[in-house]
Amino acid sequence: MSTARLIDGKAASQTLVARVTEAVGRMKAAHDRVPGLAVVIVGEDPASQIYVRSKGERTREAGMRSDTHRLDAATSQADLLALVDQLNNDPGIHGILVQLPLPDQIDANAVLSAIDPDKDVDGFHVVNAGRLAVGLPGLVPCTPLGCIMLLKAELGDLTGLNAVVVGRSNIVGKPMAQLLLAESCTVTIAHSRTRDLPALCRAADIVVAAVGRPEMVRSDWIKPGATVIDVGINRVPSRDPVKAAEGKTRVVGDVAFEEAAAVAGAITPVPGGVGPMTIACLLANTYTACCRSMGIEPDALTL
Ligand code: GUN
């Protein structure tokens, strides 16, 4: 039995961050300007706290300005909108990210729609979704952007390949499908209502799993030699029953990794696959947004 090539997202993210850092250094030298990213977090969600701290550290390491706004869990929608407005009008801030989830009293769509689309480094604004759909330059959601970079680095030209995206979320599945289509793949978006999902996936040269169901994609869903991108990050009980009883967990993807790796041509592990690319793409988007605000063409950032 053959074993798939491992797609090393950690190494790829380090390459991308190094390219962003160099581009930021050139911008500073030529224009005396550094990109600025503002991250807004409302409340105390522990996972969000970890993500936000990590985003701030990576941003500064890349030579950029990083501001973190920590708001109380009881913050009103009006106060959050006022902060977004202030950041929209701050010329030193080129990227704005409002960490999700938001508390119940706040309508996330209203907040995301209030962000200036040219500073929307998450790529969640409807204007950026529209730009992606019609092929205009915009800001692309970080996770699918990272996935397409890994796929192009692994496979080169994607023209004519059959791609199945499992999952239809606005932040991963739909933009992922648009990016694959822009690379001239034949794209199918599958979801919980899809009939005979295993057979559909078995016809794919590329499978992108983004459903949030632990180890759902099995080896008999994979065409021998296909490329598998696993976007899932799921916490499940530890393999060891004693540790599981103590509440210990481990992280798995949406793909049953070991069995899928025996069939696939290449596969991303979890952790260490798509995950590390997401923050790297956030830095890339912040640099891109800064260049565009100055009317200059960003240096190409590829793996
Ligand atoms: N929460 C979890 N992932 C993300 C993300 O990529 N962006 C934002 N804004 N919130 C998140």
Percent of the chain, pLDDT > 70? 100
CATH number of the domain to which 86 belongs = 3.40.50.10860
Query: What separation in Å is there between the alpha carbon of 296 and the centre of ligand 1?
Result: 28
Mean pLDDT of the chain: 97
**pLDDT tens digits for range 172-220:** 999 999 999 999 999 999 999 999 999 999 999 999 999 999 999 999 9
Task: Give pLDDT, residue 229.
Answer: 98
Task: Give pLDDT, residue 2.
Answer: 73
Q: Is the pLDDT score of 21 beyond 90?
A: yes
The number of domains in the chain is: 2
User: Active-site residue among 116, 122, 205, 254?
Assistant: 122
Residue 45 shares a structural domain with residue 106: yes
Residue 82 shares a structural domain with residue 190: no
Cis preceding-peptide flag for 137 (omega within 30 of 0): no
Query: What separation in Å is there between the alpha carbon of 124 and the centre of ligand 1?
Result: 10
Query: What separation in Å is there between the alpha carbon of 15 and the centre of ligand 1?
Result: 22
Q: Is the pLDDT score of 93 beyond 70?
A: yes
Q: Is 170 helix (H, G, I), strand (E, B) or coil?
A: coil
Contact 16/303 with Cβ under 8 angstroms? yes
**pLDDT tens digits for range 260-274:** 999 999 999 999 999
Residues β-bridged to residue 255: 217
Instruction: Tell me which residue range forms the domain holding 268.
Output: 142-277
**pLDDT tens digits for range 253-262:** 999 999 999 9
Name, in order, each residue with C-beta under 8 angstroms of 146's C-beta and a sequence gap of 6 or more: 9, 13, 274, 277, 278, 280, 281
Q: Is the pLDDT score of 236 beyond 90?
A: yes
Residue nearest ligand 1's atom 2 by CA: 100
Residue 59 shares a structural domain with residue 112: yes
**pLDDT tens digits for range 241-255:** 999 999 999 999 999
Distance, first Cα to last Cα, the chain: 30
Mean pLDDT, residues 141-160: 98
Residue nearest ligand 1's atom 1 by CA: 100
Q: Is the pLDDT score of 290 beyond 70?
A: yes
Residue 107 shares a structural domain with residue 214: no
Residue 42 shares a structural domain with residue 147: no
